[in-house]
């Protein structure tokens, strides 16, 4: 056989073969490298032996006992149960093994076993049984700490442990320690090979933490190195140096009906400084719902346009694009800026496929279609960035020549996530809401108090305010949900608010219809707008003061916060009613957090804790890397250290950073898809 390398398929290892290799594949293990880096998810501590008589139900325990009887039962469907009677000085118990009939050949009466498992007491006849998870034939020098790996049907723990032990004994030397000595020293990191060994087979449990820390560090370090190098590469290209006409800017600012908040003014200076410098801008603007990001985008666009460039603003929905178009047209009216709208509707009409004549182009994905050519695109703004993938961002950027890029998001991304997702972007944060906003009051409304909520709404409408009623609409049950939303709007119109106008907005409507409904709502022709989550992002109707969220338990916390952000935008006190049937503790925790707080960053942290990073970002968010060992929430501190180390190395010695990344970093990054060096 050819020499085994890290890239060799596990199939060629001792004791593996094609059949077991298939099982490994299910666990994401294909190569020797994967196997070496396939770490246990837990450990059994066999230094704590429980006497049989002292076993407690449910608790994973270890017993040492002698086999006194064996009974193998085969069912017709080739299912097998091996029942083994075990005894120690304190008592006896029956242990069971499922689907491992060969154990009947291996086990003999009189043999002593070390068995890990759980006591189960039948609710039917109170009989006691030991559900064996793992076993070892007793010997006085057995290891005390046993790794527990993720398993798949057909792959048993003992077998897996044996294969991994062999691989480590024979092939661990193939793994090179790739971290520079100085970094290991500075961050007090353990050596790589012993760390790998100890993480698999620790002699004592307290060896695990330092070993794990080293491996987590490596994963984050390689990821951050990739991000950092990508960022450097972008920064190294010459960008556009925009000219600032202060007179025009001042005139624009004084044309607004408000003064910028201190936070807006600060981030605007950060953005402006980068626009006038020759480095290309690649910046994330974060700010909670309603913090006033749009105006910052308009300021940046004005600078770009007055320097002779085009600016593009991309939004995730037609409604939002339309709203931006209207608002920006109005704001820029006396500044000789030609504003155009490009959405799938406008491009179907074939009216403005050519965007040459516009200074500012506002639109949806239609902006990045093939055939849409820009004259001189100098600034790209992407609103609600979390709704787009990395690819779409890149596609718009490619329409210009190193344009400055500003991506905006209202999803307050927790720090750990933003370091991973947006680690290549500089960040500006608007951490303040415009003055005069009163935080929305949020209530849980049980079904029995629904009528009370409607009475409250009636009073608000009489005072001239408007109302959102949000119904869930999820892909899996879209048809049913849509019907429910339609039925709800009819019910509200006929039975609850016959004297007022109830409107309905959902994604299936034609764009013209959507526009009409939004326009009617904006001018107050519609009092109550029943809507699916199409209103989630960006919609700005300051006169809306009440929101009912139906089936609130079906929404994620960040999404609820976004939805609620549609109200409370004027000076009036706004109210949000959560109608929910929250049974699971997780759903209850979500709703409670929403009622207790209006701080988007806090809520995002809670959401992340409750749901974990994958769900938090949703499937759309393809940029989220998957780490083998690291956990971006739990290991945030190591993440920050690794980032500091990686960015420090790049600043110090770019060449060697690049070499390290190319030789080892990509590999250390493993299954991770996050940071290609393109
Ligand atoms: P978001 O950050 O959620 O995109 P918007 O840009 O839509 O928020 O702004 C929300 C509302 O706040 C808009 O009606 C906008 O005109 C208003 N606004 C923005 N900045 C200020 C300010 N400094 N003072 C008062 N109102 C402001
Ligand atoms: Mg916005």
Closest CA to 398 of 421, 426, 377, 381: 377
Whether 340 lines ligand 1, by a CB cut-off of 6 Å, is no
pLDDT tens per residue, range 383-426: 977 667 667 777 888 887 889 999 998 776 677 777 777 777 88
DSSP per residue, 426-477: EEEEE--PPTTPPPPEEEEE-GGGHHHHHHHHHHHHHTT-EEEEE----GGG
Say if residues 410 and 320 touch (Cβ distance below 8 Å).
no
Q: pLDDT tens across 170-190, in order?
A: 999 999 899 999 999 999 999
Does residue 193 form part of some domain?
no
Find out whether the beta carbon of 412 lies less than 6 Å from any atom of ligand 1: no
How crowded is residue 93: how many other Cβ atoms within 10 Å of its Cβ?
21
> What tens digit of pLDDT does each residue of 118-141 get?
999 988 888 899 999 888 899 888
Please identify, among 545, 567, 597, the residue that sits at the C-terminal boundary of a domain.
597
| Nearest CA, atom 24, ligand 1 | 434
Number of H helices, E strands in the chain: 23, 20
Ligand that lies nearest to the alpha carbon of residue 327, given by its number in the listed order:
1
C-alpha 292 to ligand 2 mean position (Å): 7
Together in a domain, 458 and 392: no
Fill in the DSSP letter of residue 9: B
Residues 384 and 470 in one domain: no
Check whether residue 391 and residue 474 sit in a common domain: no
Say if CB 578 and CB 446 are below 8 A apart.
no
Residue 668 CA to chain centroid, in angstroms?
22
Q: Which ligand 1 atom is the nearest neighbour of the CA of 327?
A: 16
Domain annotation covers residue 232: no
Q: Report the largest interatomic distance among the alpha carbons of the chain, rounded to a whole angstrom.
A: 96
Please work out whether the CB of residue 385 comes within 6 Å of at least one atom of ligand 1. no
Does 389 lie in the same domain as 462? no
The ligand placed nearest to the CA atom of residue 537 is 2
CA-CA distance, 672 to 669, in Å (whole number)?
Answer: 6
pLDDT at 318 over 90: no
Per DSSP bridges, beta strands 404-409 and 528-531 are unpaired
pLDDT of residue 412: 65
SS3 164: helix
Residue 419 located in a structural domain: no
573: domain CATH number?
3.40.50.300
Task: Answer yes or no: is the C-beta of 296 below 6 A from any ligand 1 atom.
Answer: no
Q: What is the token pair recorded at 326? A: 């209207």
Residue 102 CA to ligand 2 centre (angstroms): 64
The continuous run of DSSP H or E covering 67 comes out as strand 60-74
- Residue having the nearest C-alpha atom to atom 18 of ligand 1: 292
CATH of the domain at 95: 2.40.50.140
- With 70 as the cut, is the pLDDT of residue 598 above it? yes
Cβ–ligand 1 contact at 260 (below 6 Å)? yes
Q: Produce one character per residue of 178-202: b if its CB has 16 or more CB atoms within 10 Å, e if not.
A: bbbeebbeebebbebbebbbbbbbb
CB 287 less than 6 A from any atom of ligand 1: yes
Lowest mean pLDDT among 96-100, 180-184, 590-594: 96-100
In a domain? residue 327: yes
Q: What angle do CA 359, 362, 363 make, to 5 degrees?
A: 140
Residues 470, 379 share a domain: no
Q: List beta partners, residue 578.
A: 444, 549
- Write down the mean pLDDT value for the chain: 87
- Answer whether residue 662 is part of any domain: no
Cβ of 293 closer than 6 Å to ligand 1, yes or no, is: yes
Tell me the CA distances in angstroms from 601 to 48, 234, 287, 381, 597, one per residue in order.
44, 29, 9, 23, 10
CA 362 to centroid of chain Cα atoms = 28
The CB of 542 under 6 Å from ligand 1? The reply is yes
Residues 497-527: tens digit of each pLDDT? 999 999 999 888 888 888 889 889 999 999 9
Q: Pairing relation of β-strands 310-314 and 360-363?
A: parallel
668 lines ligand 1 (CB under 6 A): no
Confidence band (pLDDT; 50, 70, 90) for 665? low
Of the three residues 597, 632, 655, the one that is the final residue of a domain is 597
* Co-location of 576 and 516 in the same domain: yes
Give mean pLDDT, residues 220-242.
85
pLDDT at 479 over 80: no
What ranges make up the beta strands (E) of 229-289?
A: 282-287
Highest mean pLDDT, choosing among 195-209, 228-242, 396-410: 195-209
Count of structural domains, the chain: 3
pLDDT one-digit tens code per residue, 332-351: 999 999 999 998 877 666 55
Q: Are the C-beta atoms of 6 and 174 separated by less than 8 Å?
A: yes
Predicted confidence (pLDDT) at residue 475 exceeds the cutoff of 80: no
pLDDT of 109 over the 90 cut: yes
Q: Is any atom of ligand 1 closer than 6 Å to the C-beta of 568? A: no
Distance 218 CA to ligand 1 centre (A): 42
pLDDT classification of 619: cutoffs 50, 70, 90: very low
At residue 537, the pLDDT reads 61
In the numeric block, which tokens belong to residue 136?
Answer: 């070892």
pLDDT at 618 over 70: no
Distances from the Cα of 576 to the Cα of 460, 531, 546, 547, 553, angstroms = 13, 15, 6, 5, 14
Q: Which of 64-73, 81-90, 148-157, 584-593 shows the lowest per-residue confidence on average (mean pLDDT)?
A: 148-157
More confident residue, 646 or 585: 646
For residue 246, the surrounding DSSP H or E stretch is helix 246-255
For atom 10 of ligand 1, which residue has the closest CA?
Answer: 290
Q: Is the CB of 540 under 6 A from ligand 1?
A: yes
CA nearest ligand 1 atom 19, residue: 292
CA of 261 to the centre of ligand 1 (A): 10
Cα(383) to centroid of ligand 2, in Å?
A: 7
Under the banding of pLDDT at 50, 70 and 90, the label for residue 621 is very low
Q: Extract the tokens encoding 540.
A: 């700005």
**What mean pLDDT is predicted for residues 100-110?**
89
**Residue 673: pLDDT over 80:** no
H-state helical runs in 332-443: 344-348, 390-397, 415-421
- Residue 72 forms part of a structural domain: yes
Residue 490 falls inside a structural domain = yes
Mean per-residue pLDDT, 287-302: 92
Question: Do 363 and 265 share a domain, yes or no?
Answer: yes
Q: What gap in Å lies between CA 629 and CA 217, rounded to an integer? A: 10
Question: What's the rounded Cα separation, in Å, for the pair 584 and 563?
Answer: 22
Q: 409 CB less than 6 Å from ligand 1?
A: no
**Is residue 167 in some structural domain?**
no
| Dihedral sign from CA coordinates of 305, 309, 310, 315 | negative
Q: Which two tokens stand for residue 517?
A: 């409904």
Predicted confidence at residue 671, as pLDDT, reads: 38
Query: pLDDT category, 230, cuts 50, 70, 90?
Result: confident
Contact 541, 512 (CB under 8 A): no
CB count within 10 Å of CB 512 equals 9
DSSP 598: -
pLDDT beyond 90 at 30: yes
Residue partners of 565: CB distance under 8 A and separation at least 6: 288, 289, 290, 410, 600
At residue 536 the predicted structure's pLDDT band, cuts being 50, 70 and 90, is low
Q: Which of 290, 562, 565 to mutate to test the pocket of ligand 1 (most atoms within 8 A of CB)?
A: 290
Work out the pLDDT band at 613, boundaries 50, 70, 90: low
Is 322 within 8 Å of 376 (Cβ atoms)?
no
Domain boundary among 142, 157, 184: 142
Mutation choice for ligand 1 from 259, 292, 325, CB with most ligand atoms inside 8 A? 292
**Residue 339, domain extent:** 246-277+292-409
In this structure, are 260 and 376 located in the same domain? Answer: yes
Q: Are residues 260 and 385 in the same domain?
A: yes
Q: Quick one: 380 and 481 in the same domain?
A: no
Asked whether residue 266 falls in the same domain as residue 324, the answer is yes
Question: Residue of the nearest CA to atom 5 in ligand 1?
Answer: 292
CA pair distance 675, 422, nearest whole angstrom: 10
CA distance 537 to 411: 10
Q: Which atom of ligand 1 sits closest to the CA of residue 291?
A: 2
* Ligand 1 atom 23 nearest Cα: 260
Instruction: Say what the pLDDT of residue 622 is.
Output: 44
Measure Cα distances from 563 to 104, 533, 598 in Å.
Answer: 61, 8, 12
Among residues 282, 12, 335, 22, the alpha carbon closest in space to that of 154 is found at 22
Number of residues written out for the chain: 678
Ligand 1 atom 16 nearest Cα? 292
* Judgement on whether residues 536 and 581 belong to the same structural domain of the protein: yes
What is the band of 646 on the pLDDT scale with cuts at 50, 70, 90? very high
Query: Does residue 564's CB lie within 6 angstroms of at least one atom of ligand 1?
Result: no
- If phi > 0 it is left, if psi is from -120 to 50 it is alpha, else beta; for residue 202 that is beta
């Amino acid at each position: 056989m050819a020499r085994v390398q890290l890239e060799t398929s596990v199939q060629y290892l001792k004791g593996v073969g094609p059949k077991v290799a298939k099982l490994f594949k299910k666990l994401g293990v294909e190569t020797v490298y994967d196997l070496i880096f396939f770490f246990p998810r837990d450990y059994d501590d066999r230094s704590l032996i429980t006497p049989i008589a002292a076993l407690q139900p449910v608790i994973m325990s270890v017993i040492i006992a002698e086999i006194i009887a064996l009974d193998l039962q085969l069912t017709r469907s080739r299912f097998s149960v091996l029942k083994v009677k075990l005894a120690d000085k304190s008592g006896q118990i029956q242990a069971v093994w499922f689907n491992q009939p060969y154990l009947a050949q291996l086990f003999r009466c009189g043999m002593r076993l070390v068995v890990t498992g759980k006591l189960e007491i039948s609710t039917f006849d109170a009989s006691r049984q030991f559900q064996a998870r793992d076993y070892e034939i007793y010997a006085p020098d057995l290891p005390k700490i046993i790794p527990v790996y993720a398993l798949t049907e057909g792959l048993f723990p003992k077998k897996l442990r044996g294969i991994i032990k062999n691989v480590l004994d024979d092939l661990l030397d193939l793994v090179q320690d790739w971290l520079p000595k100085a970094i290991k020293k500075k961050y007090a990191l353990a050596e790589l090979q012993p760390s790998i060994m100890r993480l698999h087979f620790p002699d004592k449990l307290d060896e695990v933490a330092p070993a794990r820390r080293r491996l987590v560090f490596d994963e984050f370090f390689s990821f951050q190195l990739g991000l950092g190098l990508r960022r450097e590469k972008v920064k190294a290209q010459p960008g556009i140096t925009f000219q600032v006409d202060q007179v025009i800017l001042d005139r624009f600012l004084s044309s607004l009906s408000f003064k910028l908040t201190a936070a807006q003014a600060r981030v605007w200076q950060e953005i402006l400084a980068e626009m006038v410098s020759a480095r290309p801008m690649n910046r994330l603007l974060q700010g909670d719902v309603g913090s006033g990001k749009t105006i910052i985008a308009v300021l940046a666009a004005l600078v770009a346009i007055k320097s002779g460039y085009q600016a593009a603003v991309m939004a995730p929905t037609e409604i939002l694009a339309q709203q931006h178009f209207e608002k920006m047209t109005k704001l820029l009216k006396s500044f000789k800026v030609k504003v155009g709208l490009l959405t799938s509707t406008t491009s179907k009409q074939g009216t403005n496929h050519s965007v040459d004549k516009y200074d500012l182009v506002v639109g949806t994905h239609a902006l990045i279609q093939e055939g849409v050519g820009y004259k001189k695109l100098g600034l790209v703004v992407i609103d609600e960035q979390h709704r787009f993938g990395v690819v779409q961002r890149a596609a718009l950027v490619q329409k210009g020549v190193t344009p400055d890029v500003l991506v905006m998001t209202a999803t307050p991304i927790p720090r750990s996530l933003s370091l991973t997702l947006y680690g290549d972007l500089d960040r500006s944060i608007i951490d303040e809401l415009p003055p005069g906003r009163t935080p929305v009051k949020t209530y849980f409304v049980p079904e029995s108090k629904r009528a009370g909520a409607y009475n409250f709404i009636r009073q608000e409408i009489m005072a001239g305010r408007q109302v959102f009623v949000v119904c869930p609409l999820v892909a899996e049950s879209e048809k049913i949900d849509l019907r429910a939303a339609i039925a709800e709007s009819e019910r509200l119109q006929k039975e609850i608010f016959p004297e007022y106008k109830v409107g309905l907005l959902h994604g299936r409507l034609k764009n013209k219809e959507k526009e009409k409904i939004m326009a009617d709502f904006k001018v107050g022709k519609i009092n109550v707008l029943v809507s699916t989550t199409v209103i989630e992002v960006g919609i700005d109707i300051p006169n809306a003061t009440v929101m009912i969220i139906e089936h609130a338990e079906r929404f994620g916390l960040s999404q609820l916060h976004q939805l609620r952000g549609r109200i409370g935008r004027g000076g009036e006190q706004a109210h949000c009613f959560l109608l929910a049937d929250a049974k699971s503790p997780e759903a209850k925790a979500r709703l409670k957090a929403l009622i207790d707080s209006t701080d988007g960053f806090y809520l995002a942290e809670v959401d992340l804790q409750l749901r974990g990073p994958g769900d938090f970002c949703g499937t759309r968010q393809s940029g989220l890397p998957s780490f083998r060992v690291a956990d971006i929430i739990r290991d945030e501190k190591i993440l920050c250290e690794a980032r500091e180390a990686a960015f420090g190395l790049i600043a110090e010695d770019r060449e060697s950073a690049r070499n390290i990344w190319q030789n080892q970093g990509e590999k250390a990054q493993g299954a991770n898809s996050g940071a290609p060096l393109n």
